[in-house]
């Protein structure tokens, strides 16, 4: 089993080192905590933002306001990969935007809504997180 683990680490590090455009990270709560294998999580969230929009003063856009509502649904499952804990997840966002303001002295409004880009992810804990049973 140790050979498989070392092979998985070698392949993963090779894939990661071949990607040159990675410049950000996303931290989730309890990202480094261990959990039993086979757990299923259902996620739901909502966010509301409203206020003025700022544009370059040289643009003919004034007195703008916007309201954004964002909801999301997600699913995460814990797995056992090579004896260590891993997680697979998907997040599906849905957003609604309502904006208004003056463009060249004419009042304009814009209302739009729809699905955002879904997020799929897989995480694997290389060290210190053995796969636990219930």
- Tell me the whole-structure pTM to 2 decimals: 0.66
Lookup: tokens for 60:
């003919």
105's CB contacts (< 8 A; 6+ apart) are 60
Lookup: tokens for 118:
């879904």
Q: Where are the alpha helices (DSSP H) in the chain?
A: 2-18
CA-wise closest residue to 99 among 70, 71, 68: 68
Residue identified by tokens 């053995």 is 130
What would the pLDDT profile of 21-67 be if each residue is shown by its tens digit? 656 666 666 666 778 899 999 999 999 999 999 888 899 999 999 99
């Amino acid at each position: 089993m140790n050979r498989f683990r070392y092979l998985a680490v070698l392949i993963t590090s090779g894939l990661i080192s071949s990607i040159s455009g990675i410049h950000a990270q996303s931290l989730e709560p309890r990202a480094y905590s261990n959990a039993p294998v086979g757990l299923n999580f259902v996620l739901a969230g909502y966010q509301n933002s409203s206020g003025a929009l700022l544009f370059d003063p040289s643009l003919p856009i004034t007195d703008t306001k916007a309201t954004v509502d964002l909801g999301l649904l997600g699913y995460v499952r814990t797995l056992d990969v090579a004896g260590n804990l891993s997680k697979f997840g998907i997040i599906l966002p849905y957003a609604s935007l309502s904006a208004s303001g003056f463009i060249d002295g004419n009042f304009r409004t814009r209302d739009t809504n729809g699905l955002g880009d879904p997020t799929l992810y897989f995480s694997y804990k290389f060290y210190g997180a053995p796969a636990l049973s219930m």
